[in-house]
Structures are given as structure tokens and as C-alpha cells.
């Protein structure tokens, strides 16, 4: 494997670009936490890696666009996975509407298709930001790919799916002030495609209300 190039470092992991036996790849390396007991730390890291790989494989089996998993090293807490080419949805939405290479409504619909798919397969992403959505107009199956399932889990509970959507709404509004048209198209498509959209969107109203109360109380 070729030299690693650090592309992102967060609180939980470092992410590198690399070559994995001739394939463009991402190496995700989770941190040990020095304040945790070593046995507990190892157990938690292995559990997190196992869940992330399980989520990715569940999506791949159901033809949902996510990175393919190449190799897992639990001893060193590392996942090698496919590098997704393209630009983030956040980057696309930073342009003025008339400068975007794709209509905002179409982009919203494509994001909604993928989120409806993961929720119908009981996958909760846990960190639905536009930085974790990669757009590539050259892809034939889906132009939007979801990445970074490090905070995700499996659940069939409508509340969990509603919270996933609420996190997405809040993240979108913080980076894209005029996102009303995007969200209108997004929810129109999500409602049509998701098998459980009625119960999820009902719970979403409750989640929004709790969020507003927290904002008011400071």
C-alpha cells in the first residue's frame, strides 16, 4: 500500500486516503481512549467497528449506495473501504441556485431516495450531514452516496428514524440558510418512497417540538 494522506481527523477517528492493492481507498482508524480501562476500550472499539461494517454491508446487500468494505483489522481498529469520488452535497449547496450543476429539487430528491432506503432497511445513520453525502453525476445507479456510518446503529423504531431526519434538518439549516425548497422536495420524495414515512414523520413533529423547547430554555 502507498503512502497515507490524512484527510480528516475527528474526535473518534482519523481518515486517510490510500491505495489498497491498486484500488483508491479510505483507511479509517479509530482512536483508543486513554481514560478508559484497556479491556473496556478494546471492547468498545471492536463493537463500534463491527457495527459500522455491519451497517455498510447491510446497505450494500440492499443495493444502497455506500462505500464497499475492503478489509477490517480489529486489532488495530482499522477499516479499509472504497474511496467515493465526487463532491459533498454541502459543497454543491454552497453555490448560488443558478450556478449549481444540478437543480436543487433534483438533488433533494436523490438524497431522499437514499435516506428512505436506509430507513426502510432499519439503518440509522446517526450523523446525517451534507458533508457525509457525496454527489457524482457520472454514477449510473445513484448520484448520491452516503459515507461515515461511525455513529450509526440498527433500529426499526420510528423515533430513531425521526431523530435521524431531525439531525439532518438541523445540519442542513446551519450550513444552508435558504433550504426551504430543498426540504420541501426532500420530504415530498421521502414520503412517497419510504414504507414507514407516516409514522416516522409523525414522530418527527414530536422531535421538532422537543427541539424548540430546548432552544427556548437555552
92 half-sphere exposure, CB direction, 13 A CA radius: 27
Residues with active-site annotation: 127
Report the b/e string of 163-193 with b at 16+ CB within 10 A. bbbbbbbebbeeebeebeebbebbbebbeeb
Q: What's the CA angle centered on 202, arms 199 and 205, to 5 degrees?
A: 150
Residue with cell 476500550: 41
According to DSSP, the residues that pair with 25 across neighbouring strands are: 18, 82
Cβ contact 116:190 at 8 Å: yes
Amino acid at each position: 500500500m502507498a503512502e497515507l494522506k490524512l484527510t480528516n481527523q475527528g474526535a473518534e477517528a482519523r481518515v486517510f486516503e490510500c491505495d489498497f492493492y491498486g484500488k483508491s481507498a479510505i483507511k479509517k482508524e479509530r482512536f483508543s481512549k486513554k481514560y478508559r480501562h484497556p479491556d473496556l476500550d478494546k471492547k468498545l472499539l471492536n463493537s463500534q467497528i463491527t457495527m459500522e461494517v455491519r451497517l455498510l454491508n447491510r446497505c450494500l446487500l440492499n443495493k444502497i449506495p455506500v462505500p464497499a468494505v475492503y478489509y477490517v483489522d480489529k486489532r488495530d481498529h482499522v477499516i479499509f473501504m472504497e474511496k467515493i469520488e465526487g463532491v459533498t452535497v454541502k459543497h454543491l449547496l454552497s453555490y448560488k441556485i443558478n450556478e449549481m450543476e444540478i437543480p436543487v429539487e433534483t438533488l433533494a430528491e436523490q438524497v431522499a431516495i437514499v435516506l428512505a432506503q436506509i430507513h426502510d432497511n432499519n439503518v440509522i445513520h446517526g450523523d446525517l450531514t451534507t458533508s457525509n453525502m457525496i454527489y457524482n453525476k457520472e454514477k449510473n445507479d445513484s448520484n448520491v452516496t452516503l459515507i461515515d456510518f461511525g455513529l450509526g446503529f440498527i433500529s426499526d423504531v420510528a423515533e430513531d428514524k425521526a431523530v435521524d431526519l431531525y439531525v439532518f434538518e438541523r445540519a442542513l439549516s446551519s450550513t444552508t440558510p435558504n433550504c426551504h425548497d430543498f426540504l420541501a422536495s426532500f420530504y415530498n420524495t421521502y414520503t412517497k418512497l419510504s414504507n414507514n414515512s407516516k409514522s416516522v414523520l409523525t414522530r418527527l413533529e414530536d422531535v421538532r417540538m422537543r427541539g424548540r423547547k430546548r432552544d427556548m430554555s437555552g
